[in-house]
Structures are given as structure tokens and as C-alpha cells.
């Protein structure tokens, strides 16, 4: 049945990419499809797991683009992420059913995760970290920065796992390190790179939350690991970076105080 839901989503995606379409009708079809997904998943794995695994990730499309082609692209991208999340659930459906039968929801139930929590991953650029953190707080989000949380006798990885139970993560990639392949040392210039822990945590949150729940912010030219090539970044040197971040947060279903951008 879940394969049928995924295939239906793919059929809708084909319609989005066709010519001569009515975007309003397409959006209505997508919302009907999502409601059907939620009803099916609740029956299969229970509402508490659905609240954690699917509902927060169903993209709402703000349609900030003014052109028809831009709006089509927004709808298409959101639908692709939604289908991707269903595929992820499909691969773990047996395990999720087992968890549901035991009355558990992973190692953290959804009730313990605040919808406004956002994990901020950063490197050594403290000024940039403070700029982004204060902006997120201004639009009503609870920003979790690892070094600001109590240690409670935990190792760094234990502390990271404890505070990584969030609905969204924002990654700041800044020019903190220099490096290159060892066979190019002395033969080529060293490239700016983000800190290794930042890259690790970026990949961790993509795996945990899905790409549509992770925003990457980049400042300056950086060497990006090959596994992350193709991932879209928001340029912190752009005048519109705050609007772009708000757009991604809104599309992911987070409640944000857009009016505070004007103050």
C-alpha cells in the first residue's frame, strides 16, 4: 500500500512537470494525497509515530516565486522531498510497526520534541554564529547550540545525541580550515574548508531528519565534500539570506514570526 502512495505521488509529480497545468488544482491534489498518506500511516504505525516521522516533514509550499515556472519548481521540489520521506518510511516500515506494537516511539517520543527547536551547527566564526542565532530567536525559534548546553558528565558525542532530538537543523559552513589531497601538497593551493565536526553533523542531520529539514548556510568559497555536492546552499553574503531561510523554514512547517523581520 505504501508503494501505491509513493507511485501516486510520482504521478502527481509528472503532472507538475507537464505543460498547460493549473497550479491551484495541482496543489489541491497534493494536499489530498498528503491527507491520504497520513490516514494510511496512522492505520499502519499509529498517530504518535506519524507525528514524528511524517507529518512535520510534509512540505507546505509558500510560492514566493513570482513567475509561473518558478512556482512550478517550488511545488516540484517540495513534492520530491515528500516522496523521499515516504520512501524512507517504506524502507523502515517493518521496524516502525514493531515499535508501534510495543507502544514506543524510538528513543524519544514526539511529545518531547518542541516544534520550535532548531539545532545550530557552527564552526569557529563566532560572530557569524551569533548573527544567525539571534536572527532565529527573533523569528520565534528556540536555538540549540551544543556548547551552551550543560554537560551533565556526558562525552561530546553523548551530549550531541541528547540534544539532536529536534525538528530542524541549520548548518553554518565557514572558512575555518585549510586543506587539500596529500598528493597535491606543495603543488596546488590549499582550499578553505568547514570544520570536520560541522561536515559530520551536517551529514548526521540529513540522515536523521531528511534534506528538507536541514538548511546549509555558506560564507565564502569553500571546498565541499563530494557526498554533499548538489546540495543547495544559502549564501550568507546575499542581502536576501534571511528571507531565503524563512522560506525554507515555512515550507518545512515551522511556525515563524515573519513580521519580526521588519523590526
User: pLDDT band for position 106 (50/70/90)?
Assistant: very low
Q: How far is CA 243 from CA 9, 61, 246, in A?
A: 29, 15, 5
Q: Is the pLDDT of residue 226 over 80?
A: no
Find the range with the poorest average confidence among 25-39, 136-150, 227-241: 227-241
SS (H, E, C) 118-187: EEEECCCCHHHHHHHHHHHHHCCCEEECHHHCCCCCCCHHHHHHHHCCCCCEEEEECCCEEECCHHHECC
Res 154: pLDDT = 85
Res 145: pLDDT = 92
Q: ∠ CA 228-231-235 to the nearest 5 degrees?
A: 115
The number of C-alpha atoms within 13 Å of 263 and in the hemisphere containing its C-beta is 7
State pTM to two decimals: 0.56
Alpha-carbon gap, residue 110 to 87, rounded angstroms: 21
The model's pLDDT over 35-54, given as tens digits with 9 standing for 90+, comes to 888 888 888 887 667 766 77
CATH 3.40.50.10140 domain position(s) in the chain:
114-262
Average pLDDT of the segment spanning 240-262: 81
Q: Is the pLDDT of residue 110 over 50?
A: no
% of the chain residues with pLDDT over 90: 14
23's grid cell: 497550479
Res 105: pLDDT = 46
Mean pLDDT (the chain) is: 81
Average pLDDT of the segment spanning 219-227: 75
Average pLDDT of the segment spanning 216-228: 78
SS (H, E, C) 50-66: HHHHCHHHCCCCCCCCC
Q: How far is CA 151 from CA 64, 181, 217, 237, in A?
A: 41, 36, 27, 34
Backbone angles phi, psi at 181, to 5 degrees: -65, 145
Cβ neighbors of 83 (< 8 A, separation 6 or more) are: 6, 9, 10, 13
Q: Is the pLDDT of residue 107 over 60?
A: no
Residue 189 is given by DSSP the state: P
Cβ 79 vs Cβ 93: under 8 Å: no
Task: State the fold for domain 114-262.
Answer: Rossmann fold (3.40.50)
Cβ 194 vs Cβ 176: under 8 Å: yes
Q: Is the pLDDT of residue 148 over 80?
A: yes
Amino acid at each position: 500500500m505504501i508503494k501505491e502512495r509513493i507511485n501516486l505521488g510520482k504521478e502527481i509529480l509528472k503532472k507538475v512537470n507537464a505543460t498547460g497545468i493549473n497550479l491551484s488544482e495541482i496543489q489541491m491534489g497534493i494536499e489530498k494525497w498528503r491527507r491520504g498518506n497520513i490516514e494510511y500511516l496512522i492505520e499502519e504505525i499509529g498517530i504518535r509515530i506519524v507525528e514524528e516521522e511524517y507529518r512535520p516533514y510534509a512540505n507546505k509550499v509558500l510560492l514566493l516565486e513570482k513567475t509561473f515556472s518558478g512556482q512550478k519548481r517550488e511545488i516540484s521540489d517540495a513534492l520530491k522531498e515528500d516522496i523521499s520521506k515516504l520512501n524512507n518510511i517504506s524502507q523502515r516500515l517493518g521496524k516502525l510497526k514493531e515499535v508501534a506494537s510495543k507502544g514506543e516511539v524510538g528513543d524519544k517520543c514526539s511529545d518531547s520534541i518542541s516544534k520550535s527547536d532548531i539545532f545550530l551547527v557552527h564552526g569557529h566564526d563566532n560572530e557569524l554564529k551569533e548573527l544567525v542565532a539571534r536572527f532565529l530567536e527573533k523569528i520565534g525559534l528556540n536555538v540549540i547550540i551544543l556548547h551552551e548546553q550543560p554537560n551533565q558528565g556526558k562525552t561530546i558525542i553523548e551530549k550531541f545525541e541528547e540534544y539532536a532530538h529536534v525538528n530542524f537543523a541549520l548548518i553554518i559552513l565557514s572558512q575555518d580550515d585549510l586543506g587539500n589531497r596529500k598528493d597535491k601538497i606543495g603543488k596546488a593551493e590549499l582550499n578553505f574548508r568547514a570544520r570536520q565536526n560541522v561536515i559530520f553533523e551536517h551529514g548526521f542531520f540529513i540522515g536523521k531528519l531528511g534534506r528538507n529539514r536541514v538548511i546549509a548556510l555558506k560564507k565564502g568559497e569553500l571546498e565541499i565534500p563530494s557526498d554533499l555536492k548538489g546540495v543547495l546552499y544559502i549564501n550568507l553574503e546575499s542581502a536576501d539570506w534571511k528571507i531565503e531561510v524563512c522560506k525554507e523554514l515555512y515550507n518545512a512547517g515551522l511556525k515563524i514570526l515573519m513580521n519580526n523581520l521588519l523590526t
